[in-house]
Structure 1
Amino acid sequence: MPGGRLTYQDRQHIAKGLAEGLTYTEIARSLQRPISTITREIARNGGAGGYRADRAQQATAGRARRRRPTSPAPPPAADAHGRDPRAVRDLEEQFTGSLIQTGLSRMTARVLTCLYTTDSGSLTAAELVRRLQVSPASISKAVGELEQQGLIRRERDPRRRRDRYVIDADVWFQGWLVSARQNAVLAELARKGAEVVGATTPAGARLKDVSQFFDHVGRHMIQAAEDWRQASFAK
């Protein structure tokens, strides 16, 4: 794969790919670059919706001028489990990039990734602040969004008198059910909409199709979750 820094032509290619609706993975593949490089480049230069090749090139040049020469840092040591810190960091960047493409904000995706890749599967707000090097307000907003979507749960730590944010298989089960219920709400709303505009009109027929689709998907989501839970308990 090509090495070195991204060129201006690379950045133009990234901007063109975003405009065409390509995923980060597709852009990385076309440039023969790691997806972590593309994710980092887009995130630090306006995000998928605000990325511009000219501004990204100028910002990179400005950062390079502000850097002072320093002695090379020693390579990070492996952790107690023998994991390569660089490989873990690349995994976190790729995971964050994938979550962003599902619709999560960058900070929310970073918090969720942090919980995923933590052995304990739970962290306090203060621990998230230290690990991600962001403000408490940023963490508060991110965990609020994740709780609202049912992607994490809050537990009280009686020893430290602090809340812990937890992610595990049961959280995903509950989050899946939340999505299924949202589909049921959309199905019912579309069904009523078809009655309002007239079931025999083009708009009514369209809404009826939408209602049937979300009803079908919602029921199968619930059945799939129940099948998974039964199989999990049978292990």
Structure 2
Amino acid sequence: SILRVEPTTSVPELVTPGKRRKDIRLKDLPKEVQGAFRSIFVPTIIEFCGCIEAWTSPTASDIQELWESTMPDGFHDQFSKLNGGKVVEALVQDKLTTWRNNTGKAALKTLKGIFIKENLNSVDQRKTYVAQQLTGTYKSYHYYYSVAVGEGSNVQYAGAFQSPLISKTFAEHLKAIDSIPQAQRIADRPTGAIVLAILAVRYAIISLFLQQDHSSFFSGSSRPNVLFNWE
């Protein structure tokens, strides 16, 4: 037999090694795969990342395992081929960046809604609100809770991570995975997604008060030096 060598640019559906990740788009997948990637695989990978440490990206092995276990027949065993040039990995990272940024934007939108609802229009009013919400430490900030009774060192909290700020921000994650049937959901707690919501709210509070936009902070290029443990 004769071995024929061809430039990779002439091979259909193969992304050349020189193509930068930021230049990879959904169209780099075959058309028949694109729909399943959007509707099935993206929610699956977001759910997975929502259950691990925030800002942790899935490994290539993680992505392949999820691909093989969730994608339809005809695609589920084609990961190695379709990931040529790391196409699938790059698309996954892009979708995770969007998910994180959407969480940050949801926190900003929720906080702006509270400002409007409670008529917090002046700088002084917002300053007072911010100071109240940031009372405490990373273990017990005021904005974590749905109920706060008392003042100062005598304040008592209830409803951890159930405040409107956090619950509405966390809802962005639930919206992203809504298409996954309940019977197929991961049993693990969504600790990563909750941490993302908690910190998104914190940066929304700070950014609105300082008139700065920190929503892109959640792209993953920066990461808070804090660790949450679910107890």
The bucket for the TM-score relative to the shorter chain is: under 0.3
Larger Rg computed on CA atoms: 1
Structure with greater helix percent: 1
Give the alignment's TM-score, normalised by structure 2: 0.28
Higher relative contact order (CA 8 A, sep 6+): 2
Give the alignment's TM-score, normalised by structure 1: 0.27
